[in-house]
Amino acid sequence: IVVCPPGKHTTIAANRNPAARAALCHDAAAARLARQHNDANILALGARTTGTETAKDCLRAFLTTPFEGGRHSARVAKLGGAPGRNP
């Protein structure tokens, strides 16, 4: 989990690592979809743009949602990560 005031800076920095798939999420639905469809392995949050309860909801969704695989696996493989394998 990475946090900075707007969230976008740490997301960009985290994604410089080839094994990282960081997703900036502003709500639980975005966190769930980041895991389901993109096999995101880093949750990025904006400290100034995300309230405490929303951040908790995002974290809960991110940690409990599995990667869906299937049609999404090819896209994740193109990103350079092995789908379903979070380092």
Catalytic residues: 37
Q: Which of 17, 13, 15, 3 has its CA nearest to residue 58?
A: 3
Q: CA dihedral in degrees (33, 39, 42, 45; nearest 10)?
A: -10
- Which run of H or of E encompasses 22? strand 22-24
Q: CA dihedral in degrees (45, 46, 49, 55; nearest 10)?
A: 30
